[in-house]
């Protein structure tokens, strides 16, 4: 990552080729929205393979409960961008599962949206 962290693109998942079995048991330390004072994130889901499809579930780390809290899962069959609120969570991650297609892969990137 180069330059100002708030203007950067963060890689959350890279070329995932197999389904996640479950949510991680500990924070993955991929992106901490509260560290940069952002309320919202632009999340880019990039698919690879032939006719790929993935279920992508946003995960928000709850420092109080010490677990990931699941957001609304989305079934993606093409590259997709969505915006999510992330204020108050100390780690953002995504679970990728229920894949189909020929050699499906998924990568997920996050761009912080600064508070104005």
**Structure-token pair, residue 8:** 């950067």
What pLDDT does residue 5 have?
63
pLDDT score at 78: 97
Show pLDDT as tens, one digit a residue, over the chain (116 residues).
444 566 789 999 999 999 999 999 998 988 988 888 888 999 999 999 999 999 999 999 988 889 999 999 999 999 999 999 988 889 999 999 999 999 999 999 999 987 66
Q: Rounded to two decimals, what is the model's pTM? A: 0.90
Residue ranges of domains in the chain, CATH in brackets: 5-113 (2.60.120)
113 has which bridge partners?
Answer: 40
> From CA 53, how far away is CA 47, in angstroms rounded?
8
């Amino acid at each position: 990552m180069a330059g100002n962290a708030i203007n950067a693109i963060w890689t959350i998942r890279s070329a995932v080729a197999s389904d996640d079995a479950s949510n991680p048991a500990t924070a993955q330390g991929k992106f901490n929205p509260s560290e940069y004072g952002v309320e919202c994130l632009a999340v880019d889901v990039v698919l690879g393979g032939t006719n790929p499809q993935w279920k992508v579930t946003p995960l928000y780390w709850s420092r109080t409960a010490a677990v990931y809290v699941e957001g609304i899962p989305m079934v993606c069959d093409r590259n997709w961008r969505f915006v999510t609120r992330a204020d108050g969570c100390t780690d953002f991650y995504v679970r990728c599962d229920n894949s189909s297609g020929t050699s499906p892969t998924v990568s997920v990137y996050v761009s912080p949206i600064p508070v104005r």
